[in-house]
Amino acid sequence: MSKNLETTYNPKAIESKLYDKWCENRYFHAEVDRDRKPFTIVMPPPNITGKLHMGHALDNTLQDILIRYKRMQGYNALWVPGTDHAAISTEVKVTNQLKEEGIDKKELGREKFLERTWEWKEEYGGTITSQLKKLGTSCDWDRERFTMDEGCSKAVEEVFIKLYEEGYIYRGSRIINWCPVCKTSLSDAEVEHEEQEGSFWHIKYPIVGTDDFLEIATTRPETMLGDTAIAVHPDDERYKDIVGKKCLLPLTDREIPIVADYYVDKEFGTGAVKITPAHDPNDFEVGKRHNLPEINVMNDDATINEQWGGKYAGMDRYEARKAMVKDLEEQGYLVKIEPHSHNVGTHDRCHTTVEPMVKQQWFVKMEELAKPAINAIKTGELKFVPERFDKIYLHWLENIRDWCISRQIWWGHRIPAYYCDECGEIVVAREMPGKCPKCGGTHFTQDEDTLDTWFSSALWPFSTLGWPDQTEELDYFYPTDVLVTGYDIIFFWVIRMVFSGYAHTEKSPFHTVFIHGLVRDSQGRKMSKSLGNGIDPLEIIDQYGADALRMTLITGNAPGNDMRFYNERVEASRNFANKVWNASRFILMNLDEKNLTKPEKLTNPADCWILTKCNQLIKEVTDNMDKFELGIALAKIYDFMWDEFCDWYIELAKYRIYHAEEDEKGANEALWTLREVLKNSLKLLHPYMPFVTEEIYSTLVPEEESLMISPWPVYEEENNFPAEETIVEHYKEIVRGVRNVRAEMNVPNGRKATIYVVCEDEAICKGLEELKNSAMMMAAANDFIVQHDRANIADDAVSVVVPDATVYVPLNELIDFEQEIERLSKEEARLNKEIARATGMLNNEKFVSKAPEAKVREEREKLETYKQMMEQVKERLEGLKAKQS
C-alpha cells in the first residue's frame, strides 16, 4: 500500500498539481476513434473581455460533470473550449485604452485599430481561459477555438455567401435597435430591459374638418415628429365613422390618416394610438400593412435631425422632449401627464437607452429558416431539459422577425460585400471583384460594417469541428450531444445555432439543451456591478478550494431554476470534503501494509448492507445523471457518504479492525469492503469534486493511472443482500433509540448500560448477535443481549419500540438516582427564579406600556417556556423519588 494522506485536506496543495498532471497526460484530449462511441459538448464561448463570474462557474461545472461522467462510462468524450471575440465590448475596451493614451480611434484608422485590438486580445483574451482551468474544467485545450480564428472566419464567410446566394440575406431598411453612444445597430441579445420610472403624456390630435380630437397617450413625445398615422381597432364602435379621415399632427403642419388595424388594443387607454413606423417595431409592421411613410426624426447620436425637426433640430432627444411638452401645453394640446413605470431597452455594454430606428442594414430572412428548428422540437429530434422551455423556444421561433446582422464597428468579421464605385452594384464574394458585372467598372469599396457576433457563434457547434471542410472530426463528433446554457440566452443563441445547423448541415447541432438558472445572491437578487453583490469564484476557490465551490453550485440545483449563493453553503461543502478526506485517511491507515484478499463470501451483515446500499446508489445516481438530475444525484451521494458510509459503516467495522488478531478473516472482510465501497463512492463523486477524489483515489488505488479515466461503477444484481439490509436497518433503529433515550435523560457518555433486545424473528436475532460487539461500541453498552421474551429484564427498564423488536435499558444502569435528583432540584430552583423574574416584569405596567412590543412578546414567550420546563422537571423529580423509595 502506498503512502497515507496528509493529516488535513489542503486544496491549494493539490489542485494545480493534479490539473497539470491531467493536462500533461492529455486525459482531456479526444481523437477520432471509430471503435468508440463519441460524446460531444461545445463550450458556450465566453467573451474575451470577460472574467470568470458565478454564471460561468455554474455553466462550466455542469458541463464538466457531464463530460467526466461520460468519459468514465467509456465514451470518447470531447469538450471543445473556446472564446468569443465579443465585437462591441472588445471595441469599447480598446477604444477606451486608446483614449487614455490620447489617441482618437478614427484618426488611427481601421487597419491600425485592428492591429491594436489583436494585440489586446493576445494580452487579455486568455484571462478567462486560465480562470476556467482553476475550476477544474476538463475540456480539450488542444482544440481550443476563437470565433475569429482562420477556421471560424472561413465558416462565417461561407455561410454569408451561401445565404446571400439563396436569397436569405438581403440589404434593406427595417426597424432595428440603435445605440446612440456606440453608434451601431444591436441584436436583441445585446439589449437589456430594465424597469424605469417614466410618464404617459396624453396629447390631443385634432380631427381635420371637425371640432373633435383624438386623445393619444405616449411615453416618448419626441417621436411624434415621425408620426405617420393614428390607428384604431376595426371593431371599435367609437371610431368607425372617422376611419379614413385625417388628424392634424400637433407642433407640425402635417396631416396624418386615421387607419384601422387589429394591432390596437381597444380596451387599453383611449383605444387610439399614434403610429411612428421609423421608431417603434410594432408601428413599423403596422406601417407596412398600410403603406405608411417611414419618417426617421433622429440623427445617429439621438439628436433631432434637420429634415424633420423644425425648431427642435439639433436638440438631444430628452432635451427635445422637454421643449415639445412645454409647447404642447402652451398650445393647448397637452391633456394630462400620468406617472408610468415601464420596461426600457438599454445597451448591455454602455447602458445607454436604445433607440428603435429604421436603418439601412443587412438582414437574414427568418421565416423559412425557422421552420426546421420548429419541427425539431415537435418531432422530438431536439429536446429541452426541463421541457417547459419548449414553449418559450417555439413562441420565439413562431413569432421571429428578420435578423439584423450588420454592425457599425471595426472589430469582427467584415461583411464580404463590395460596392462598385461607378454604379453602386453590390457584389458578394470571397475577395474583391476585378470587374463589375453590371457596368464593367474595376473599382470597388468593401462594406464598412462587420457581422453581429451572434452570426459567428451561431455556427459554433460545427465550425469548431472544421466545417465547411468535411473533416474527420466533423463526421465523427457532429452532431454534438448536449448544449448546456442559461435560460437567458436560449432565444438569441440556441435558436440561431439550431436553424444554422439545419441550414448548413441538415442536422440539429445537438439533441439536448440542458438549461440552468441564474446564480443569485443570498437575498435572491441578480448579481450585478451596480448592486455590488457579485461574488468572485476565484476568491471562493482560493479560500475553500474548487471542489467546495463546485459542490455548492450543484447542491439543490434543479434544471432551469435559479439558485441562491451562501458562503455558509460553501463552508458546508468544504466540511464534506474534509469528512471524506478524514474517513479515507482512517481507511488508508488501517489498510497500510495489509495484503487484502477478496472474500469468497461475506459473513457479516454490515458488509452486505453497505455493499447493497452502494450498489443501489450506483443505479440511482446513474439514472439521475442520465436524466440531467445532477443536483438530486449529488444529494444521494452526499447522504450515502456522510451518513451511511462514514457515520454508520465505518463505526460498524471498527471493532473487527481493532481486533484483527482475534479474527483475521473478519478484519479482512471489513477492510476489503471499506476499500471497495470507498473506491466506488469516489468514482460517483468524482465528476462533482474531481480534485479531492483524484488525490484520495491515487493513494487508495496506486496501480491505476487516474480516477478520471477509471471505469464508471455498474449496478450488479449479485451485490444486493436484502436480508442483511433488513438486519442492519433494524440495528440502526436500535442504536438511534438508545442514543435518544440517553440524550433525553442526560446520561453521561462514560456511563454504560446493558441493552436488551426482545425480538421473535430468528433471522433478525441471529444477525443482531453478529453485530453485538459493534453495538456495544456505538450505543455505549456494557452488554448487548438479544432474546425472544422479557425474561430477566427489570420492570422499570426504559423501553424503545423499533420495527419487529422492543429495546430495554435498565433505568438504574442509566442514571445515578441521588445525583439526578440533586441536579433536577437545582434546575427547579433556577426555573423558580426565572419564572418570578419574568412574572414580575410582565406585572409591571410601566414595562408593558413603554418597552418595545417585541421585548414584551419575548418575555411572555420566555415565561411560557419556563413554565413548561418546570412541569417536566417536577414530573421527573416525582418519578425518580417514587422509584427511589
What CATH number is associated with residue 289?
3.90.740.10
Same domain for 344 and 382, yes or no, is no
3-state secondary structure 299-316: CCCCEECHHHHHHHCCCE
Give pLDDT tens digits for 292-330: 999 999 999 999 999 999 999 999 999 999 999 999 999
Total domains, the chain: 6
Same domain for 712 and 855, yes or no, is no
Q: Determine the 3-state secondary structure of 392 from DSSP.
A: helix
Phi, psi of 193 (to 5 degrees): -100, 125
- Structural domain contains residue 730: yes
- Structural domain contains residue 667: yes
Count of helix runs (H) and strand runs (E) in the chain? 31, 29
Per the structure block, which three cell numbers stand in for 258?
A: 386615421
Give pLDDT tens digits for 730-782: 999 999 999 998 888 888 888 899 999 999 999 999 999 999 999 999 999 99
pLDDT band of 885, cuts 50, 70, 90: low
Q: Is the pLDDT of residue 593 over 70?
A: no
Q: What is the mean pLDDT of residues 371-388?
A: 96
* Angle value at C-alpha 556, between 553 and 557, nearest 5 degrees: 60
Same domain for 776 and 649, yes or no, is no
Same domain for 144 and 58, yes or no, is yes
Give me the chain's average pLDDT, please. Answer: 93
- Structural domain contains residue 4: no
Nearest to 660 by CA among 650, 669, 651, 647: 669
Question: In which element (H, E) is residue 590 found?
Answer: helix 567-591
Give pLDDT tens digits for 77-99: 999 999 999 998 899 899 999 99
The residue ranking higher by pLDDT, 312 or 875, is: 312
Pairing of strands 355-364, 169-179: antiparallel
Same domain for 394 and 424, yes or no, is no
Q: Is the pLDDT of residue 813 over 50?
A: yes
Last residue of a domain, one of 815, 838, 871: 815
Same domain for 808 and 822, yes or no, is no
Same domain for 742 and 771, yes or no, is yes
Provide the whole-model pTM. 0.87
Give pLDDT tens digits for 723-733: 999 999 999 99
Same domain for 436 and 477, yes or no, is no
Q: Is the pLDDT of residue 3 over 90?
A: no
Same domain for 695 and 553, yes or no, is yes
**Across the strands, what pairs with 303?**
316
Nearest to 818 by CA among 880, 744, 732, 752: 880
State yes or no: 529 annotated in a binding site.
yes
- Structural domain contains residue 200: yes
Q: What is the mean pLDDT of residues 518-546?
A: 86
**Domain extent at residue 194:** 184-356
Name, in order, each residue with C-beta under 8 angstroms of 705's C-beta and a sequence gap of 6 or more: 25
Give pLDDT tens digits for 785-811: 999 998 888 877 888 888 888 999 888
Give pLDDT tens digits for 607-620: 999 999 999 999 99
Per the structure block, which three cell numbers stand in for 155?
A: 465558416
Last residue of a domain, one of 691, 720, 749: 720
How far, in Å, CA of 222 to CA of 298, rounded? Answer: 10
Query: What pLDDT does residue 1 have?
Result: 41
Is the distance from CB of 214 to CB of 207 less than 8 angstroms? yes
Same domain for 683 and 769, yes or no, is no
- Structural domain contains residue 314: yes
Question: In which element (H, E) is residue 861 found?
Answer: helix 853-884
Q: What is the mean pLDDT of residues 455-460?
A: 96
Q: Is the pLDDT of residue 511 over 80?
A: yes
Q: Is the pLDDT of residue 835 over 60?
A: yes
CA distances from 769 to 571, 719, 731, 758 (A): 40, 23, 10, 12
- Structural domain contains residue 258: yes
Question: In which element (H, E) is residue 375 found?
Answer: helix 367-379
What CATH number is associated with residue 749?
3.30.2320
Query: What pLDDT does residue 218 have?
Result: 93
Question: 347: phi > 0 → left, psi -120 to 50 → alpha, else beta; which?
Answer: beta
* Angle value at C-alpha 65, between 62 and 69, nearest 5 degrees: 145
Question: In which element (H, E) is residue 558 found?
Answer: none
Give pLDDT tens digits for 436-447: 999 999 999 999
Q: What is the mean pLDDT of residues 324-339?
A: 95
What CATH number is associated with residue 674?
1.10.730.10
Last residue of a domain, one of 694, 720, 746: 720
- Structural domain contains residue 533: no
| Structure-derived torsion over alpha carbons of residues 604, 609, 611, 613, reported in degrees to the nearest 10 | -170
Alpha helices in 686-721 (DSSP H): 690-700
Q: What is the mean pLDDT of residues 32-55?
A: 94
How far, in Å, CA of 71 to CA of 74, rounded? Answer: 5
Phi, psi of 414 (to 5 degrees): -70, 140
For the chain, first and last CA: distance in Å? Answer: 61
Phi, psi of 357 (to 5 degrees): -155, 140
**Across the strands, what pairs with 574?**
none
Is the distance from CB of 68 to CB of 28 less than 8 angstroms? no
DSSP letter string, 412-423: S-B--EEEETTT
Give pLDDT tens digits for 108-128: 999 999 999 999 999 988 899
Is the distance from CB of 803 to CB of 728 less than 8 angstroms? no
- Structural domain contains residue 531: no
- What percent of the chain stands above pLDDT 70? 99
Per the structure block, which three cell numbers stand in for 795?
A: 420492570
Query: What pLDDT does residue 406 have?
Result: 95
Query: What pLDDT does residue 826 have?
Result: 87
* Angle value at C-alpha 297, between 292 and 298, nearest 5 degrees: 140
Position 118, amino acid: W
Question: 884: phi > 0 → left, psi -120 to 50 → alpha, else beta; which?
Answer: alpha
Q: Is the pLDDT of residue 553 over 60?
A: yes
Nearest to 478 by CA among 455, 514, 456, 511: 511
pLDDT band of 881, cuts 50, 70, 90: confident
Q: How far is CA 98 from the centre of its chain?
A: 36
3-state secondary structure 822-858: HHHHHHHHHHHHHHHHHHHHHHCHHHHHHCCHHHHHH
Bond into 250 cis (ω within 30): no
What CATH number is associated with residue 856?
1.10.287
Please report how many Cα atoms fall inside a 13 Å half-sphere around the Cα of residue 278, on the Cβ side: 20
Per the structure block, which three cell numbers stand in for 19?
A: 490539473
pLDDT band of 884, cuts 50, 70, 90: low
How far, in Å, CA of 353 to CA of 375, rounded? Answer: 36
pLDDT band of 872, cuts 50, 70, 90: confident
Same domain for 694 and 665, yes or no, is yes
Cβ atoms within 10 A of the Cβ of 441, count? 16
Phi, psi of 265 (to 5 degrees): -95, 105
Q: What is the mean pLDDT of residues 507-531?
A: 88
Q: Is the pLDDT of residue 2 over 60?
A: no
Nearest to 771 by CA among 731, 805, 737, 721: 731
Give pLDDT tens digits for 159-215: 999 999 999 999 999 999 999 988 899 877 778 888 888 899 999 999 999 999 999
**Across the strands, what pairs with 339?**
199
Phi, psi of 230 (to 5 degrees): -115, 135
What CATH number is associated with residue 113?
3.40.50.620
How far, in Å, CA of 832 to CA of 844, rounded? Answer: 18
Is the distance from CB of 832 to CB of 843 less than 8 angstroms? no
Name, in order, each residue with C-beta under 8 angstroms of 412's C-beta and a sequence gap of 6 or more: 85, 87, 148, 450, 451, 453
Same domain for 744 and 862, yes or no, is no
